[in-house]
Structure 1
Amino acid sequence: MMLNEAARVESLAALSRFRTDFYDCLSARADALFELADAVLCSDGPVRSLVELSLVGEHRRGHGSLYAALDRGRLDVGRLRRALSTVPLPRSADGRLVLAVDVTCWLRPDAHTSPERILCHTYGRGKDQHIMIPGWPYSFVVALETGRSSWTAPLDALRLAPGDDLAAVTAAQLREVVERLMTAGHWRSGDPDILIVADAGYDGPRLAWSLRDLPIQILARMRSDRVLRRAAPARVPGTNGRPPRHGSEFIFGDRDSWGEPDVDTETDTRLYGHATAWAWDRLHPRLTRRAAWADAAELPMIEGTVIRLEVDHLPSGAIPKPVWLWWSQVDATAIEVDRMWQAFLRRFDIEHTFRLLKQTLGWTCPKIRDPRAADRWTWLILAVYTQLRLARPLAADLRRPWEEPASPQRLSPARVRRGFRHLRAKTLSPAQAPKPSRPGPGRPPGRRNDQPAPRHDVYTATGLTTAKTSARKPTPKKSANPRPRRTGSGGPGHRSPGLPQNRA
């Protein structure tokens, strides 16, 4: 009992310290921004609009102050990033930090006066179509935890500007995150390498090469139509000519090119039934002098381990497909192979975090014009989520009559948020009470706005265009003799179960 009470006191102290650090990061309109975050934490139900947050009791200011704080407030992003890195972080079963990186979009299709919008790839809208919608894409880095929960620990968020190279921006973002974690003492010499998990939209070998000087390992999913190369065979004595750099092809869609796996494991899982993992050692992509490698003096040989995961069924009932993973280490053992694909399955927790940020905390509900104000609101939401995570051991289960009881370790973020209003009274609240003021005169009656907001085009990969212009662009005709492409199937009549890609 004394240990539980000591743990509660320590959790409450950690929550109060972070709230103080968060307030210190606000350099302009700090009180209004801090109370706006408290309003998100203490409001009943999902956040639907910003103006309704001004009616929450914890927000003691008017709606005009709320919008002015987002528009003209200042937030020290670097200091807040360091504060997020100093809080307690979850670890995997072997004691290592596992980070996940992914991009989610704040869609703004009708915001013609908002600059720096990019066409974002969306899934499942309409009749199962992939549609490009203008918006602001954000790259998130979170720390994953183990156990039967979907909690994550957000560490960084970065809005992708028009013309940014996703791989280069992600590599720089991950480098800064890892360096902050090392400075905060979360990784010391002798600890296991930090594992970074990414989806198929990222170039795993390129990330591993860009971050090769850091104590990290890359685990990335690969598309099922990829082709890798084995190591070059030993040179036969007396052979003339230039020695080959690459060995035979390893074609994901051709079972005959696989050969015998170096590691073969079978595991019974709770959610996916029987899982089978095959691993092949020392496979690398054949790089060419294009795109990121156009100016390279010598093309590197980035070897890794390829893992193919198959499962019997999915919890959703969908037809499973194979999952191909690339790990930046070689000479993997059976225990390491199982550990890697299990770590990849935890990556789906970031999808639940995105869903919570959008549907419950109202991250994408404001109709903000300035992308810098959107960045401030994004960091406020991350601070809100971090406070919920720190309050997790302290929260009471205020469940609905139709909900099942849950232990404090199993409470979801939404259920922790229900009781945060009671915890707020026990923590430090550095925000000062508002000073008495009078409303401004506003625009004189009958006078029109003589300075309309400028309109901005949508950026695409090829340059500037508008949504209407891109819609009128004619589609190129298909060739009469199309180039054959490899498929991810294992041949006629072969059923390859596995895990599909899941997006929030």
Structure 2
Amino acid sequence: MDQREGRGRELGASGRPAGCVRGGVTLPAELYACLTARGDALFELCDALLCTDGPVRTLVDLALAPEHRRGHGALYGGINQGRIDVARLRRALAGVPLPRAADGRLVLPVDVSPWLRPDATRLLTGPFATPSAGGEGKHQMVPGWPYSVVAALETGRTSWTAVLDAVRLEPGADVAAVTTAQIREVVERLVVAGQWRPGDTEVLAVLNAGYEAARIAHLLGDLLDEILGRLRSDRVMRRPTPARKEFSLANPRAVGRPSTAASSSSATPQTWGTEHVVTVTDTRLYGRASAQAWDRLHPQLTRWAARLDHGGPLPIIEGTVIRLALKKLPSGRVNKPVWLWWSETGATEVEVDRCWQSFHRRFDIEHTFRLFKQTLGWTKPRLCTSEAADRWTWLVIAAYVQLRLARPLATDLRRPGEKPTEANKLTSTRVRRGFRKRHAKTGSPAGAPKPSRPGPGRPPGSRNRRPATRHGVGRVLAAGEAFSRPAHHKFGTKPRRTG
């Protein structure tokens, strides 16, 4: 047995939260076993991230925490030269207790969150131009690393989610193909971990606008899960083609050109037709919510982009289209109807309500992203390589999972002006506030630092003869080709007038 794993197993009966224990091994011990190089420095960095009071501003501040017993050189050495067994860590995250919906279903939202680096336009390896909203009606490209994250949603009034996976999107990556592979791998790990068994309700994956929900549902056709995605407000869907009538003496005109399917445009109410299901629900936050559902609608596919090499006729992917209209929205948001597409047909009133409620619960993952960036400092380090960004991302995820599992044992340390909250309903920030007291009662699998003296460094007055590698940042198209800016769009030039 590995010596490091042996030290980790000794903590199985310690004061760690009961939810962290899996098979006699605590989650911190499993995390330590996943750190295959410079594990002591990375593990203590994760502990410092959990125990530091207040938002994380820089990595150097974490090196000053009592839980990080090493210097800042070991901290940066672990981030830049360390190694993490990501596959094992993913299996560990799939095995911890996961939240479920009211009917016992696993609801998995998928979304992309960017790590923007506008100040490092020539220092990133594998640069990617990340789309970012630049204001009303604007769209600009900012260098950075986009990450596709999959989590499990909880029910009730909470902002907690159970993060299961994170994948960095490569330049020119097909987002639909990457998302499909990511969902498939997550569901397979959940099945292996015993989170889903035959006879359970199907897993529901919820996607926001920007994903091809129908294509992802077609690629995941052999997997036991459902896809729910948001449609554009001007999307055109097709109805089933009516059956062709047989030739008879009473109907001699039956033979001829086959009949075509009627279309339904979201922007044209005259083409909607009669709804199959209509539900009205009174909600506390949004007021009255009315949902209309049309059965067996499919998008009209054309041979372009990802379907250029598709052999044979294009598939017909039928589903249920849901139009959700809310009476009110929180201040500052425009109240517009939302169009959803569900990969199943024959929806009932209960299933329609479950779909639109699951879609609104999907926005809980936005609270997780905000916690990662504003409190845990996910995007604060100015790293130069994408590999170092991946290590830091997984450390942040591991710290967040420990916070979620420690929630039942957390102590409510209220600040002046904060209202009392039940122990099992504390926010992630308030759980982190008291994590240091809980951490002091438990051991650590990390070894003690060895005494050493700093090296002499570069002599004063000498030049750095090994400068960092600089990489040019440019846009990459979906086809993998580099984007070349037109001559009249370049900086410092003006378009030539022809008249």
* Residue of structure 2 in register with 1:247 after alignment: 261
Offset at 1:91?
0.3
- Identity over the aligned pairs, expressed in percent? 59
Say yes or no: does 1:118 pair with 2:128: yes
* Residue of structure 2 in register with 1:169 after alignment: 178
* Residue of structure 2 in register with 1:198 after alignment: 207
Say yes or no: does 1:342 pair with 2:357: yes
* Residue of structure 1 in register with 2:217 after alignment: 208
Which sits farther off after the overlay, 352-361 or 444-453?
444-453
| C-alpha contact 1:11 1:394 (8 A) present in aligned 2 | no
Structure 2: distance between partners of 1:36 and 1:261:
56
Relative distance call for 1:8 and 1:33 in structure 2 (3 A) is: closer
The residue type equivalent to 2:18 in the other structure is: E
Match of 1:11 among 7, 19, 25: 19
The within-5 A match list for 1:344-359 is 344-359=359-374
* Residue of structure 2 in register with 1:500 after alignment: none
Say yes or no: does 1:370 pair with 2:379: no
Offset at 1:467?
9.5
* Residue of structure 2 in register with 1:289 after alignment: 303
Relative distance call for 1:386 and 1:367 in structure 2 (3 A) is: same
Which sits farther off after the overlay, 8-17 or 69-78?
8-17
Structure 1: distance between partners of 2:433 and 2:77:
28
Relative distance call for 1:113 and 1:467 in structure 2 (3 A) is: farther
Offset at 1:409?
2.4
Structure 2: distance between partners of 1:12 and 1:136:
30
Say yes or no: does 1:455 pair with 2:455: no
Say yes or no: does 1:105 pair with 2:117: no
Structure 1: distance between partners of 2:275 and 2:58:
54
Relative distance call for 1:445 and 1:157 in structure 2 (3 A) is: same
Relative distance call for 1:108 and 1:470 in structure 2 (3 A) is: farther
* Residue of structure 2 in register with 1:303 after alignment: 318
* Residue of structure 2 in register with 1:497 after alignment: none
Say yes or no: does 1:30 pair with 2:39: yes
| C-alpha contact 1:196 1:217 (8 A) present in aligned 2 | yes
* Residue of structure 1 in register with 2:422 after alignment: 407
Structure 2: distance between partners of 1:135 and 1:261:
44
Which sits farther off after the overlay, 451-460 or 386-395?
451-460
The within-5 A match list for 1:422-433 is 422-433=437-448
- 1:231 match: secondary structure: coil
The residue type equivalent to 2:304 in the other structure is: R
The within-5 A match list for 1:226-241 is 226-238=235-247, 239-241=254-256
Structure 2: distance between partners of 1:475 and 1:277:
51
- Deviations for 1:430-455, whole angstroms, at most 9, x for unmatched residues? 01110111102211211111222222
The residue type equivalent to 1:267 in the other structure is: T
* Residue of structure 2 in register with 1:262 after alignment: 276
Which sits farther off after the overlay, 249-258 or 234-243?
234-243
The residue type equivalent to 1:11 in the other structure is: G
* Residue of structure 2 in register with 1:483 after alignment: none
Offset at 1:426?
3.2
Offset at 1:194?
0.2
The within-5 A match list for 1:28-67 is 28-67=37-76
Structure 2: distance between partners of 1:372 and 1:85:
23
Say yes or no: does 1:464 pair with 2:482: yes
Offset at 1:318?
3.0
Offset at 1:242?
5.6
Offset at 1:423?
1.2
Structure 2: distance between partners of 1:310 and 1:300:
31
- Deviations for 1:359-412, whole angstroms, at most 9, x for unmatched residues? 000000000001100000000000000000000101011111110111122211
Offset at 1:191?
0.5
Structure 1: distance between partners of 2:337 and 2:487:
39
Relative distance call for 1:224 and 1:255 in structure 2 (3 A) is: same
| C-alpha contact 1:151 1:353 (8 A) present in aligned 2 | yes
Which sits farther off after the overlay, 423-432 or 67-76?
423-432
- 2:358 match: secondary structure: helix
Offset at 1:476?
11
Relative distance call for 1:304 and 1:269 in structure 2 (3 A) is: same
* Residue of structure 2 in register with 1:222 after alignment: 231
* Residue of structure 2 in register with 1:440 after alignment: 455
Offset at 1:475?
11
* Residue of structure 2 in register with 1:276 after alignment: 290
The residue type equivalent to 1:250 in the other structure is: S
| C-alpha contact 2:16 2:26 (8 A) present in aligned 1 | no
| C-alpha contact 1:20 1:428 (8 A) present in aligned 2 | no
* Residue of structure 2 in register with 1:188 after alignment: 197
Could you say what the CA RMSD is over the residues aligned between the two structures, in angstroms? 2.2
Match of 1:386 among 385, 395, 401: 401
- 2:205 match: secondary structure: strand
Tell me how many residue pairs correspond in the alignment: 469
Structure 1: distance between partners of 2:320 and 2:225:
15
State the TM-score, normalizing by the size of structure 2. 0.90
Structure 2: distance between partners of 1:30 and 1:475:
55
Structure 2: distance between partners of 1:265 and 1:65:
59
Structure 1: distance between partners of 2:241 and 2:71:
69
The residue type equivalent to 2:129 in the other structure is: L
| C-alpha contact 1:101 1:198 (8 A) present in aligned 2 | yes
Runs (5+) with no aligned partner, structure 1 = 1-6, 478-504
The residue type equivalent to 1:121 in the other structure is: P
- 2:262 match: secondary structure: strand
| C-alpha contact 1:313 1:319 (8 A) present in aligned 2 | no
Offset at 1:241?
4.4
Offset at 1:319?
3.0
- 2:288 match: secondary structure: strand
Relative distance call for 1:471 and 1:413 in structure 2 (3 A) is: farther
Which sits farther off after the overlay, 111-120 or 73-82?
111-120
| C-alpha contact 2:17 2:406 (8 A) present in aligned 1 | no
The residue type equivalent to 1:251 in the other structure is: S
